[in-house]
């Protein structure tokens, strides 16, 4: 194995890794607001990507329209799901809300299958497929594009959390809901915006990854790797989500080089089990300590 091909593997690993990171961020945003693991995250991504794609097909419009429509659809979907379903269960236990999002994910996937069939569709990409050749290095522009766009998205989110009123409110709610409410923050509004922002992050990730893994009702499964990434970095931490996602992407691409090829699909699960057993707080996180 030459170092050039190693660089190639690592870069494509970072590309899938940034998608995992985006998924992990979306999950963490919802977790921080409503203390729920959103099992429907992947299906929300899938549905909004499908909606964007359909708009593009119907209007014969350029790809950017698909992205815009997907983002709007996602925000709407996130808003409606939170308002209609999750809000009613907010006083319930985690267990119950977890089951509800699980039910939602089954419903969304099935509804997508009924609407768009369970086939795989090719999805256009913003980036060309021709490899970029720099000296001995061959790099796919798709990978670089995905990494760049994801980093841009992460910076935007970082800015949102750091400098806007809404971002501060979201961080306050994540730290202590009761105190946030006493400071006059509308916690309900934070729930709503968290679900919308998470859905939008998912939609962007969906449009970025669809050219690589095809558009299909199954593409929501990518969210499982998002869970793993979030756990790997320490659930609840944004920088952890980014690091976890990148790490998982690279691991997943490197593992088949050194281990039997059939192991690739098990990598995320093995990583998840190992990290949960060895270091439940994640590589960056504090050890998850149980509170009374």
Partner 1 sequence: MRRAALATGAVIVLGWPWAAPRYFVFLASLIAVNAIVAIGLNLLSGYTNQLSFGHAGFLAIGAYAAAILTIRAPALPVPVALLLAGLVTGAVGLALGVPCLRLEGLYLAMATLAFGFVVVEAILNLEILTRGNDGLHVPAARLGPWSLATDTARYYLVVAVASLLIAAAVNISRTRTGRALLAVRESEIAAQASGVNLAAYKTLAFVVSAFYTGVAGGLFALVVGFVSPDSFDVFLSVDFVAMIIVGGLGSILGSVIGAALITTLNDSLAGFQNYRPLIFGAILVISMLFMPGGIASALRRIPGAVAWPPFTRRDDR
Residue 172 or 288 having the CB closest to partner 1 = 288
CB of 131 to partner 1, least distance (A): 32
Instruction: Write the DSSP symbol of residue 134.
Output: E
CB of 251 to partner 1, least distance (A): 15
Q: Decide: is 110 part of the binding site for partner 1 (CB under 8 A).
A: yes
The closest alpha carbon to 13, from 230, 218, 229, belongs to 229
Tokens of 246: 């990148």
- Whole-number Cα distances in Å, 206 to 3, 113, 136, 223, 290: 31, 17, 32, 10, 35
**Within 13 A of 40's CA, how many CA atoms are on the CB side?**
30
Residue 101 or 143 having the CB closest to partner 1 = 101
Q: Decide: is 231 part of the binding site for partner 1 (CB under 8 A).
A: yes
For residue 49, the tally of other CB atoms under 10 A from its CB is 31
CA 130 to chain centre: 27
CB of 81 to partner 1, least distance (A): 10
Build a one-symbol-per-residue string for 232-271: x at contacts with partner 1 by CB under 8 A, - elsewhere: ---x------------------------x-x--xx-xxx-
Residue 189 or 264 having the CB closest to partner 1 = 264
Residue 36 or 253 having the CB closest to partner 1 = 36
Build a one-symbol-per-residue string for 57-96: x at contacts with partner 1 by CB under 8 A, - elsewhere: ----------------------------x--xx-xx-xxx
Q: How many chain residues bind partner 1 (CB under 8 A)? A: 46
CA 291 to chain centre: 28
* 132 strand-pairing partners: 139
- Only segment of 2-10, 15-23, 160-168, 275-283 that touches partner 1 (CB under 8 A): 275-283
Position among 10, 63, 90, 102 found at the interface with partner 1 (CB under 8 A) = 102
For residue 7, the tally of other CB atoms under 10 A from its CB is 15
The closest alpha carbon to 26, from 39, 15, 41, belongs to 41
Name the burial class of residue 166, with classes exposed (0-12), middle (13-18) and buried (19+) by CB atoms within 10 angstroms of its CB: middle
For partner 1, the binding residues (CB under 8 A) are 31, 37, 85, 88-89, 91-92, 94-96, 98-100, 102-111, 113-114, 118, 224, 227-228, 231, 235, 260, 262, 265-266, 268-270, 272-273, 276-277, 280, 288, 290, 292
């Amino acid at each position: 194995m030459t170092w050039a091909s190693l660089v190639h593997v690592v870069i494509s690993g970072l590309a899938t890794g940034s998608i995992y990171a985006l998924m992990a961020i979306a999950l963490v945003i919802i977790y921080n607001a409503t203390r729920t693991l959103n099992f429907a995250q992947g299906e929300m991504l899938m549905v909004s990507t499908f909606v964007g794609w359909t708009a593009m097909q119907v209007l014969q419009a350029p790809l950017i329209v698909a992205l815009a429509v997907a983002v709007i659809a996602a925000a709407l979907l996130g808003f409606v799901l939170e308002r209609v379903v999750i809000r009613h269960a907010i006083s319930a236990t985690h267990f119950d809300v977890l089951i509800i999002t699980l039910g939602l994910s089954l419903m969304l996937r099935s509804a997508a299958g009924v609407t768009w069939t369970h086939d795989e569709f090719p999805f256009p990409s913003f980036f060309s497929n021709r490899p970029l050749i720099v000296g001995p290095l061959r790099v796919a522009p798709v990978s670089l594009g995905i990494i760049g766009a994801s980093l841009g998205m992460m910076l935007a989110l970082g800015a949102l959390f750091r400098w806007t009123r809404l971002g501060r409110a979201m961080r306050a709610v994540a730290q202590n809901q009761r105190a946030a409410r006493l400071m006059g923050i509308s916690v309900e509004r934070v729930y709503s915006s968290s679900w919308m922002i998470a859905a939008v992050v998912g939609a962007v990730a969906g449009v970025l990854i669809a050219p690589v893994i095809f558009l299909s009702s199954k593409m929501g499964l990518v969210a499982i790797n998002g869970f793993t990434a979030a756990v790997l970095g320490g659930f609840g931490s944004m920088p952890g989500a980014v690091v976890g996602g990148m790490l998982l992407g690279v691991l997943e691409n490197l593992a088949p080089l050194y281990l039997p090829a059939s192991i690739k699909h098990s990598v995320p699960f093995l990583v998840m089990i190992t990290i949960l057993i060895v270091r439940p707080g994640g590589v960056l996180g504090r050890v998850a300590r149980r509170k009374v």
